[in-house]
Structure 1
């Protein structure tokens, strides 16, 4: 893994940057929303201390190169609307997992696709990754559509892999190879 420095990635509508302590309230608003964490393995947050812990752990991961976490902000206003992560790096295989969450009032506006596109480009070009993997609940159809639009391919299905909010939950695995990315239509 290369040494990471504070990263700023931009699109026409968005700015992606490392999380900062000042992001506490906005990050808490995202992860305390039951709709956002419906398909996650954790309950909705209930205290601001959880946001502080999240920020500290993500900043530490960015600093030591064990992960890349960026917050997604609107370019015009600077409003924080989501988070993106590349994590669980397997250096020898040049692969990792990807994760993302967006505030529910920002769903359906193309922000996930737009920000993930620039993060994937960063991962394949700057971090020299060969493979990026995603693990989603099959009930989360919008997330599956975003991944497929980005070029991810469904690779597997595991029934009852997780216990989420007291219920068993299945997993659909997706993978994106650098070779898929390099040949994907724009």
Structure 2
């Protein structure tokens, strides 16, 4: 089920333990981790543990996480994937993060487009969702650029860093 996804500039491939140093660099940045429901990592072992956790979810067909590789440099610049897969209801929730020095270059929309296309055409899903904190303006702009539909705000729907947070929910349907 796990296959590499290619875009014009990116390779999305299964996250590996050997990615831990690069992912630690990204996930330890407070600005990247701000909206990730994690505290910024302080040790590379946290990235190793996160990769292992995500790998177990992938093994159980509950999630799939990709490392985002910039083809021109072979540099790992972020991660993305299906945070939650629900094959019974043919839907998935996506998530993504990009290293701060690569923000504003269109990599997030490019990677997410590949995820959406794969969800509809390979995984045969009907719906792709994204939940975003209202303050995460950049992420909201990415979803709007990709013609996701804002469905509403889930009030105090999750706890993040010890506080209840609101999440805006966006979706894209296969029929859109």
Identify the TM-score tier after normalising by the shorter chain: over 0.9
What is the TM-score when the length of structure 1 is the normalising length?
0.88
CA deviations on 1:127-163 (whole Å, 9 max, x unpaired) are 0010111110111111011111112101011333344
> Aligned with 1:155: secondary structure?
strand
Counterpart position of 2:86: 90
Contact 2:128–2:172 (Cα < 8 Å) also in 1: yes
> Alignment partner of 2:114: what SS?
helix
Q: Which residue of the partner structure matches residue 128 of structure 1?
A: 124
What's the C-alpha RMSD, in Å, of the aligned pairs?
1.5
Q: Does 1:27 align with 2:18?
A: no
What residue ranges of structure 2 are gaps of 5+ in the alignment?
none
Match of 1:58 among 29, 54, 59: 54
Post-superposition Cα deviations, 1:7-59, rounded to whole Å, max 9, x if no partner, equal 21111211110111211111111111110011222211111111111111222
Contact 1:153 1:174 in 2 (8 A): yes
Aligned 1:107-122 pairs, distance under 5 A: 107-122=103-118
Q: Is the 8 A contact 2:61 2:85 kept in 1?
A: no
Identify unmatched segments of 5+ residues in structure 1: 181-186
Q: CA deviation at 1:166?
A: 4.9
What is aligned with 1:143?
A: 139
Cα displacement string for residues 101-132 of structure 1 (whole angstroms, at most 9, x for unaligned residues):
11111110000001110111011100001011
- Change in CA separation of 1:167 and 1:58 when aligned onto 2, cut-off 3 Å: closer
Corresponding pairs, count: 176
Q: Is the 8 A contact 1:14 1:115 kept in 2?
A: yes
The aligned residue for residue 66 of structure 2 is: 70
Contact 1:41 1:162 (8 Å CA) reproduced: no
